[in-house]
Amino acid sequence: METTLFVLTGASGVGKTTLRNQLDVYFSDFLKHKGLEHYYKCKQRIHFSSKGLVEKIVHMELPGEREKLNAYYQQVGL
């Protein structure tokens, strides 16, 4: 039996931080498996060099999102 997990990812909002070399990007992932749906949200902070090049991307969990995602995975058997 084949298992399929559908994930759709997209930036849902962008806002500058107070520092000039950082940008926060908010993401929403839409997951659907075995007819059950879940939206997972997170934030990534992008750090830029003085030349405007990306130096680092930091994944930042939003409160409670990882726990909800793990509960969804358990519910659908992943």
- pLDDT, mean of each 10-residue run, the chain (78 residues): 44 55 84 91 88 91 96 94
Q: What pLDDT is stored for residue 6 in this prediction?
A: 45
pTM: 0.65
In angstroms, the first-to-last Cα distance of the chain is 14
Q: What pLDDT is stored for residue 52 in this prediction?
A: 83
Q: What pLDDT is stored for residue 22 in this prediction?
A: 84
44: exposed, middle or buried (C-beta count within 10 Å: 0-12, 13-18, 19+)? middle
